[in-house]
Structure 1
Amino acid sequence: MRRALKASARALFGTRAGLRWLHLILGGALLMPYWLVGTVIVGPVVGAKSLFSDSLALQFGAYAIALPTAAVTALFFPLTRPLAVGLAKALCGVPAERFAEGPARSRAARLRASGWFTLHAGIGALISGATLALPPFAVSLMVLPFFPALRGRLELPHYPAWQLALFPFAGVAMLIALAGCAAAAGALLARQAPVLLGPTPADRLAAAERRATELAERNRLARELHDSVGHALSAVTLQAGAARRVLDSDPGFVREALAAIEETTRRTVGELDSVLGLLRQDDDNTTQLDGPTLDTLDGLLARSGVPVSLSADGDLAAVPAPVSREAYRIVQEGLSNALRHAGASPVTLWIALRGEELEIMMENPLPDTAPVVRPGGGRGVRGIAERAALLGGRAQAGAQGAVWLLCARLPLGGDR
C-alpha cells in the first residue's frame, strides 16, 4: 500500500510530472497571442465590455478561433518542428532518438508538426488556465473554516460545522485533481510526441541517404589509407628485413635499402597527411581526393620492392584523372599483395587502353607455401573490387594455376 501511494505521489508530483506540467504551461503561453486575436474578433459579437471579461462565451469563443489560427501558422512555418522537438526533448521525457531532426520539409511532416503544435497549445492553454484559477480557490476553501471574518466578508451562507470541516478536504481534492489532469495531459503529449514529431518516411529516406553517403566516403578514405600506407609498410618491412640479413656483409646494399625506406616513408607521410586532411574537412563539397595517377606509375614500380615487368599499350596520360587515380591504387594494392604473400618474386604487369576501357592485368608466381593469413586481412582484394565497381567496372583476383592473377577493367567514362 505504501509503495502504491509513493508511486502515485511520484506520478502526480515527481520531477517528470513537474517538467511535463511546465511543458503544458509553455504551450498555453504559445497560444496566448492567438487567443488575444480571438478576443478582438469575438468580443464585439458577444458584447463583452473588456478583452479580459470573465464571460465564458468570450473565453471559449476566442479559444475556438485561436486553435485553427495556430494550426495554419505552424503549417507554413518549417521551424515549428525543431522548436517543438527541442521543448519536447527537454521536458516530455521522451528519448531523443525518437524525434526527427531539422525543419519539416515535406507536406506530411508539416501537417504532423502543425498537429503537434495545435495539440500542445490547445491542451496547454486549458491546463494553464486551470493552474491560474484553481489553486487560489482551493486555498480559499482550505482556510475558510478557520476565518469566520473571511466568510462574512464573502457573504457566504451559514454552513453547519460538519460541512465547514469538509472544505479543506475539498480544496486538497481540487489540487490533487489539477495535478492528475496535468499528469494525464503530459502523458498524452509524451505518447503523441514520437508520432507527430518523429521522422516521416521521407525523413527516414533522407537519413538513410546521408548515412550511405557518409559510409561511402568513410570507405573511400579507408581504401586510400589501406592501399597507400599498407603498401609502404609492406615495402619497408621487406627492405628492412633484407638489410638486416646483409648488415655485416654488404654495407652498400644496406645504405640503398635505408635510402629506399626513407623515400618510401616520406612519400607515405605526404599521402597520409592528404587523407587525414580530408577527415578534418566539414564541407562535403571539398572532399575530392587528389592522389597519384598513372603518370607517376614509374616511381611506384621503382620503389615497390619487387621486380616488375611493365607492358603498356596506349596513351596512359589521356586516361581521365578519376580513372587514373583508381588504376594507380589498384596497381599499388596488387604490388602490396605480391610483396606480402610472394616476397620478392617477379611481377608482370600489363596496362592497356581497349576502346573505352582501361585494362589492368597483373600476375606473380604463387609461393611454395601458403601465406600466413593475417587477422582481419583480406581487405585489399575487396577494396580493388570496390574501386572498380564505383567506376562502373569490374575486377577479380585469385589463383590461376601456378600464378596469382589480378584483372581489372575500368570504363574511361567512370567518375566519382
Structure 2
Amino acid sequence: MIDSLRPVTRAVTYTRWLHLVMATVLATVFAFVLPGLGRLETPASAWLLVAPLPLLAVLAVLPGVRLSEGTQAQLLLFPRRRDEEKPDVVPAPSASWEDRRRTALWLVLRYELGVVTACLSVHVPTLVVRLLRSADGDRPLRVPVTGTLFGPQWWYAPLAPAVLALFAAFVVAAGALLARAARALLGPSAAARLAALEERTERLLEHNRIARELHDSVGHALTVAVVQAGAARAAGSPEFTRQALAAIEETGRHALEDLERVLRVLREDAQPLAERPSLTDAERLLAAARGSGARVTAEVTGALETVPGPVSREGYRIVQEALTNVVRHAGPVDVFVRIAVGAAALELDVRNPLDVRNPLDAPDRPAAGAGGGSGSGSGLRGIRERAALLGGHAETGVHEGAWRVRVLLPLDDLG
C-alpha cells in the first residue's frame, strides 16, 4: 500500500504535472483568438487539439526553441536531487534538421498530452465534488463536459476517491511518458551519441599515449640514474664517478624536458604532443646506455631525417625502451643496435647476449633484456602497441643466443 502511494508523495510527480499543464498556454491563446473553441462541452472544442499544430511545426524550426524546451524539461521533468539519476537531456539549440524534426515531435506530444492533462485537472475535482453532493441526495449528478444528468445514488461516495486515484495514476503515467520522450527527443541523437563516444575514445587513447610517454622517458632516466649511481659506488674511481654524474645529469635534463612537455600538453587539454624526440636524437640514447656501462655498438644506415615524423618519434621510444630493458635487466653487457632506413620500411634491431652466469639469466629469472620471462612486461607490450599502431610488427625473444627486439615499421604509406 505504501509503495503504491510513493509516486504521489514524490516532488517530481508535481513538477512533471506542472510541465504538462503549462502547455495549455498556447491552447488558451487559441481559445481567445478563435471563439467557440474554449467551450469544452461542444464538439468544436476538439479543434483545440489540432489548430495549434502548424504553429508548433514553425516554432520547431527556430534553434532557440529546442534550447528553451530542453531547459524546461531538465528543470521540471528531471529536478536536481541526490537520489535521482542525471537526465539525458542537455539543453542546446537545434544544430541540424534532424534536431528540428525531433523538436517538432516533442512539441506536438507535449501539447497534446498537456491539453488532456489540464482538462482532467480542471474537471476531475469538479466531478468528485458533484459525486459527493449527489451521494448525499443534495442534487442530481451532472457529468462535466457532456452535461449528462444522473439521479442521486449512495454509491457515488466511494466512487469519488476511485476517480481521484485514477487521475493521480494518469498524472504519474503521463509524467513518466513525457520524461521518457524527453530523453529520446530532446537528448542527443544517435549520431551525436556516436560522435561523443568517439571523442571520449580518442581522449582515452590520448591519455594512454601520454602515460606511455611518461613511462618510457622518465622510466628510462630513472633506470640510467640508478645503474650509474650503483656503478660509481662500486667502482670507487673519481674519474668514473665524474662520468657517471655527468651521464645522470644529462639523462635527467632530457627527462625533465619530456616531463615538462607532457605536463604542458595536459594543461592544454591534451593537444597533440609536439617537439618530441625522434630518431635523429638517437645518439643521446646510445650515450646514456654507454654511460651506464653497456658496450653499445651502433649501425645506422639510411637518412634518419627522411623518416616520417610519427614513425621517427615512435621509433625513438622503441629504441629507448629496448635499451632501458637491457640496462635494467642485463647490466653492463655488449649491446648491438641497428637502425636501418629502407625504401619501404624502418628496421630497428636491439640485441644483447644471454649469459647463463648472470643471475638474471637463470632459468627461474627473466631473460636478460626481456623485462619478463615470457616477454609480457609493460615495456615490451608498449613496443608491440607502438608498432601495431603504425601498421608494423615487433618480435621479442631469444634469437641465436641473444635477446633480441626487432621492429619493422612501414614507410611507404606514411611518406
TM range (shorter): 0.7 to 0.9
CA separation of 1:30 and 1:86: change in aligned 2, threshold 3 A: same
> What SS is found at the alignment partner of 1:301?
helix
CA separation of 1:96 and 1:82: change in aligned 2, threshold 3 A: same
Question: What residue in structure 2 maps to residue 400 of structure 1?
Answer: 399
C-alpha contact (below 8 Å) 2:375/2:396 kept by paired residues: no
Question: What residue in structure 2 maps to residue 259 of structure 1?
Answer: 246
CA separation of 1:230 and 1:85: change in aligned 2, threshold 3 A: farther
How far apart in 2 are the matches of 1:178 and 1:238?
80
Question: What residue in structure 2 maps to residue 229 of structure 1?
Answer: 218
Equivalent residues in 2 for 1:43-54, closer than 5 Å: 43=35, 46=36
Question: What residue in structure 2 maps to residue 242 of structure 1?
Answer: 231
CA displacement, residues 302-340 of structure 1 (integer Å, 9 cap, x when unaligned)? 123233211111221232332221121111111112112
Question: What residue in structure 2 maps to residue 269 of structure 1?
Answer: 256
How far apart in 1 are the matches of 2:91 and 2:67?
11
Q: 2:9 aligns with which of 9, 14, 20?
A: 14
2:198 counterpart letter in structure 1: E
Equivalent residues in 2 for 1:159-178, closer than 5 Å: 174-178=163-167
How far apart in 2 are the matches of 1:41 and 1:382?
74
> What SS is found at the alignment partner of 1:220?
helix
How far apart in 2 are the matches of 1:277 and 1:364?
36
Shift of 1:226: 1.5
> What SS is found at the alignment partner of 1:395?
strand
Question: What residue in structure 2 maps to residue 155 of structure 1?
Answer: none
1:366 aligns with 2:354: yes
C-alpha contact (below 8 Å) 2:391/2:410 kept by paired residues: yes
Question: What residue in structure 1 maps to residue 19 of structure 2?
Answer: 26
Q: Give the TM-score normalised by the residue count of structure 2.
A: 0.76
Shift of 1:175: 4.1
Question: What residue in structure 1 maps to residue 114 of structure 2?
Answer: 124
C-alpha contact (below 8 Å) 1:365/1:403 kept by paired residues: yes
Question: What residue in structure 2 maps to residue 65 of structure 1?
Answer: 51
C-alpha contact (below 8 Å) 1:28/1:127 kept by paired residues: yes
How far apart in 2 are the matches of 1:122 and 1:91?
26
1:292 aligns with 2:288: no
Shift of 1:268: 1.0
How far apart in 2 are the matches of 1:10 and 1:389?
56
C-alpha contact (below 8 Å) 2:24/2:118 kept by paired residues: no
1:314 counterpart letter in structure 2: G
Shift of 1:209: 1.9
Unaligned runs of 5+ in 2: 139-151
How far apart in 2 are the matches of 1:132 and 1:139?
12
Q: CA RMSD in A?
A: 4.0
How far apart in 1 are the matches of 2:225 and 2:215?
15
CA displacement, residues 57-91 of structure 1 (integer Å, 9 cap, x when unaligned)? 56431232234643564476464785476244338
Identity %: 36
CA displacement, residues 187-235 of structure 1 (integer Å, 9 cap, x when unaligned)? 4335555555666543453243223312321221122112111111211
Question: What residue in structure 2 maps to residue 89 of structure 1?
Answer: 78
Question: What residue in structure 2 maps to residue 350 of structure 1?
Answer: 338
CA displacement, residues 319-376 of structure 1 (integer Å, 9 cap, x when unaligned)? 2332221121111111112112211212111112211332222211124313274999
The structure richer in helix per residue is 1
How far apart in 2 are the matches of 1:67 and 1:19?
28
1:389 aligns with 2:382: no
Question: What residue in structure 2 maps to residue 202 of structure 1?
Answer: 191
Shift of 1:25: 2.0
